[in-house]
């Protein structure tokens, strides 16, 4: 990720990392597990580096591909 600082990854692309091998899990369970893990990770990185959590995350919204100019 550090090498690709300008490349954004969709959080949904990480969902496969949070599946517990049970294919019957619903999407909301996987997302909840992912969000809890990411919050914990951000807190730890923030504590270790003394960088505020808000400065560790860059949010990017995809542009709507249906609107053409």
pLDDT tens digits, residue range 2-42?
566 667 777 777 777 777 776 677 888 888 888 898 899 89
The whole-angstrom separation of Cα 25 and Cα 66 is 32
pLDDT at 18: 75
The whole-angstrom separation of Cα 40 and Cα 28 is 18
pLDDT at 22: 65
| Higher-pLDDT residue of 24, 56 | 56
Task: Kindly state whether residue 3 falls inside one of the protein's structural domains.
Answer: no
How many structural domains compose the chain?
1
Range of the domain at 30: 26-57
Task: Kindly state whether residue 48 falls inside one of the protein's structural domains.
Answer: yes
Q: What is the pTM of this model?
A: 0.60
| Higher-pLDDT residue of 65, 7 | 7
Joined together, the tokens standing for residue 51 give: 């960088």
């Amino acid at each position: 990720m550090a090498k690709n600082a300008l490349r954004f990854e969709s959080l949904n692309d990480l969902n496969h990392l949070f599946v517990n091998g049970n294919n019957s899990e619903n999407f909301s369970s996987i997302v909840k597990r992912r969000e809890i893990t990411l919050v914990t990770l951000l807190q730890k990185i923030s504590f270790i580096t003394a960088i505020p959590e808000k400065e560790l995350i860059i949010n990017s919204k995809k542009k709507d591909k249906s609107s053409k100019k």
